[in-house]
Structures are given as C-alpha cells and as structure tokens.
Structure 1
Amino acid sequence: MNLNKKDKVKDFFRKDGFYLALFLCLCVIATVAIVTTKKNNSLEENNTAQNEFTLNIDEQETSEAKKQNAERVEEDITNELVEAEEEESDLNVSSGTNTEVIFSNPINGVISRGYTYPKPQLMSDGTSRNIRGIDISAAIGSEINAAAVGEVKEVSSKVEEGNYVVIAHANGLYTKYTNLSNDIRVNVGDRVTEETVIGTVGNSSMIFTNDQFGEHVSIEVQDASGKDLDPTAYFTFKED
C-alpha cells in the first residue's frame, strides 16, 4: 500500500511536475514584467515633470528678459525725448526766458554809425530813416560769426537791409546781421555757435549803401516780441 502511494507521487511529479514548474516560471516572469513596467512608467512621469518644470523656468526667464529689454528701450526713448525737449526749450524765444546769454562781437571793427531808434536819421536824399542797429566798419568779404549759440530763424533779403540773417537765442533775444554778401553760409533751422561763420560783409543794401556809409555790416538786437533794442548794451564794440 505504501509502495503504491510513493509510486503515484513519483508518477505525478514526473508527469505533472513539468507543467507546475512551467506555471511557476510564468508567474515569476509576469511578476517581473509588471514590476519593470511600473518602474519605467514612474521614470517617464518623473522625466516629463522635470521637462515641464525646466520649460516653465525657461519661459519665465525668457519673459523676464523680454520685459527687462522692453523697459530699457522705453527708458532710452524717454531719455531721448527729454533731451530733445531740453534742447528745444534752450532755444525757445516765443515768450522769452531769463537764461543769461553773453554775446560776443561777431566781427572785428568799430562802430561807424550808432543806434538812434526811434529817432529817425536824415539821409543825403532828404528822406529820414530809422537806424535800428549799429554799423560796424569792416572790409567787404570779412567773415561774420554768430554772436552766441542759437538757431537760424530767417535768411532773406530786402531793399533797405540787403541780404540778412536772423538768429534766435536762449535768452529770448534775436540778433540780425544785414548788408551781407551773397556768400551766406547758413540756412533756416541751423544750430550755430560763436564759432559759426554765417556769412561775409557785402554791399547788398540799396538804402544804406557802402558808398554813403562805408563798407560795413549792420547788427540789430530785438526782444521776443520784435521790439528793437540798443545793441551797444550787449556788445563791446568801440566807437570810431
């Protein structure tokens, strides 16, 4: 009886043991596959999260950089506008300012005819003329500089004044240079300094001619409203 049981057990392991072992191996393989899959999924999730985190940081840094660049550009534009406004205000003569501007003699010479306005002066032909500036004796062709920093407001010609240039200055005053030659070297809108040659002495006035008054340039000074002022209060020319 015992021998039969042992034989049956041996037969079972010989016949069915193979399938049992195969089943156990499959179970082990399946378990390993499941564990490996879970680990891979976990790694992929971690990598995805890390990539998203990195992208978010990059986007934030890029946005911050763009913001800083935009702020710098805006600041530069603002500074340029302020500088332009300051430059414009320096030459604003519409209402006059209290800015102190010292005029330099625009040419070497002496006063050959003084300022008499509003008292008219009798001319050789019997007519009377207002002398609104001072005549500076100077040879034809002598260079004439601007009296101070300013902006050229007018370049033109009239019978009485001949060729002339008008310059606006930061203190609300205008200087006017008449009886110039055709060699005028500035244009309306030009910014000038005491170093700027605006033209040369000529003989273009048809009224105050060089034949009657000698070779000269006439210099006038006006305020912002166009009122004539005595140039000798602003220049240091000596009288002839």
Structure 2
Amino acid sequence: MEKKPFKKTSKFFKREGFYVILFVCLCVIAVVAGVTVKNSKQVRNKPIENKVVKKDTSKDTAKAVKQPTKSYENALQVKKEDENTKPKTEEKTQEKDTAKVSKQVQPKFIKPVEGTIARVYSEDPVFWNSTSSYRPNLGMDIKTNLGKSVLAVEDGKVENVVSSSQDGVKVIINHQSGLKSVYSNLAAKTNVKKGQAVKKGDVIGKVGKTTLRSAYEKYGDHLHFAMMKGNNYINPSKYIKY
C-alpha cells in the first residue's frame, strides 16, 4: 500500500519531465534576453560620449576661428604699412626725378650784348628822365655802343617782331622751355623774322635808337633786355650775369 504513491509520482516525472525542463530553459532564456536588452538601452543612453564630442568640437572650432582672424589682422597691418610707405617713397622718387629733369631742361643763357648794366630790373617805380615820371623797369638796360650786334641768348623760335612800340623795335624769342627773351631798342632792320628758328649766339639785330621810353636817359645808347615766363615779366638777372 505504501509503494503505490511513490510509483505514481515517479511515473509522472518520467512522463512530464521533458516539458518541465523545456519550461525552465525558456524562462532562463527570457531572463537573459531581458537583461541584455536593458544593458543595451543603458549603453545607448550614456551621455558621456556626446559631452566629449562637444568639447573637442568647440575647442577645434575656436582654434580654427582664432587663427584666420590673427592672420587677417596681420594682413591688414601689412597692407596699411604698405599704403603708408609707398606714397612717401613714390613722392620722394618723383621729387628727385623732377629735380633731375629741371636741371637738365634748364637752359644756360649767354649775354645778349657786350656792355654794362645801366639800370636794373625793378617792379617798384623808378624815376625816368626821358618822361620825368616814375614807373617800373621790367627788364635791364645794358649800356653799349650804337650798332653793336645783339645775340640770341638761347635756342628758340622767333615769336614776334614788333617794328613800332614805346620800347622801339622789338624781337621776342620763345625758348620752348616756358621762357621768352625780349630785345628792345633795336635798329629798324632786324636779321630775323616771325616764325624763324634761331640758335644760341645768332645775330638777331643791332643796337639802335628807336625807343621812346628811355631815349634821353643819361647812360645813352643801350639795349633794353627783358625775360618772360609765360606772359609775366621776370628778373633776367636770375639767368644772365653781368
């Protein structure tokens, strides 16, 4: 009687044992799968990697921004220095070149006639015996002999020949350098005509007695010589020395 329940239980485990073991295995697999999924979610939600990436990116970006800015500022400074330096250098070069050109272009004049200075250039009024009046002398009166040859002081072109004026017969020569020479109180017959090219030292006429302005000055026979820059009279003693 006592052996019957044990036999029944043993038969039950033999018959249903396979299903029990299968159930237990499925439970273990389910637990393992659940733990695995939970761990994978935690790994995905970790914020450490994002923080590291953000920090590295910001540092690299900051460095990248700073470096072009510095080079750009340096470029501006170099450009400003070049702009400030170049004009000064160019101005100095231009001044030197202008000085060289002016020295080369500046002609050397000769005396228009042999003689001595009787009256100097004066923009202030001076007394004239011939007219008993005061007026400027916009040239120099050179005391010399009647009939003395008058020479062109520099190469040029005869701009005009005036046969009648208060200063007498007058020849104007343009020297193509902004300067003109004027020869007055010449004899009636001149050696040149308007438009004629002349060389330095060419005889353009003779000293005469055709002036009305200074016909009775105490120094007597003379050549009235003047120089002009453009249309303005200038002091001829700057170019011709007696």
Normalized against structure 2, the TM-score is what?
Answer: 0.54
For residues 195 and 157 of structure 1, what CA distance do their matches in structure 2 show?
22
Give, in angstroms, the shift of residue 157 of structure 1.
Answer: 3.3
Equivalent residues in 2 for 1:15-34 (5 A)?
none
Asked if 1:235 is matched to 2:233, the reply is no
For residues 193 and 132 of structure 1, what CA distance do their matches in structure 2 show?
25
Asked if 1:156 is matched to 2:182, the reply is no
Give, in angstroms, the shift of residue 171 of structure 1.
Answer: 1.7
Asked if 1:191 is matched to 2:197, the reply is yes
- Classify the secondary structure of the residue corresponding to 1:104: coil
Q: Which has the higher contact order (CA 8 A, sep 6+)?
A: 1
Equivalent residues in 2 for 1:112-131 (5 A)?
112-117=118-123, 119-124=124-129, 125-131=131-137
- Classify the secondary structure of the residue corresponding to 2:114: coil
Count of residue pairs brought into register by the alignment: 139
1:46 maps to: none
Unaligned runs of at least 5 residues, structure 2: 1-100
Do the aligned partners of 1:141 and 1:201 also contact (CA within 8 Å) in 2? Answer: yes
**Structure 1 residues 120 and 211, CA, compared in 2 at 3 Å: closer, same or farther?**
closer
Give, in angstroms, the shift of residue 211 of structure 1.
Answer: 5.1
Name the amino acid aligned to 1:230.
Answer: N
Give, in angstroms, the shift of residue 160 of structure 1.
Answer: 1.9
For residues 162 and 213 of structure 1, what CA distance do their matches in structure 2 show?
17
Name the amino acid aligned to 1:232.
Answer: S
Do the aligned partners of 2:155 and 2:199 also contact (CA within 8 Å) in 1? Answer: yes
1:223 maps to: 229
Give, in angstroms, the shift of residue 156 of structure 1.
Answer: 0.4
For residues 186 and 126 of structure 1, what CA distance do their matches in structure 2 show?
34
For residues 165 and 108 of structure 2, what CA distance do their matches in structure 1 show?
31
- Classify the secondary structure of the residue corresponding to 1:178: strand
1:147 maps to: 153
Unaligned runs of at least 5 residues, structure 1: 1-96
Normalized against structure 1, the TM-score is what?
Answer: 0.55
For residues 223 and 159 of structure 1, what CA distance do their matches in structure 2 show?
21
For residues 159 and 186 of structure 1, what CA distance do their matches in structure 2 show?
18
- Classify the secondary structure of the residue corresponding to 1:202: coil
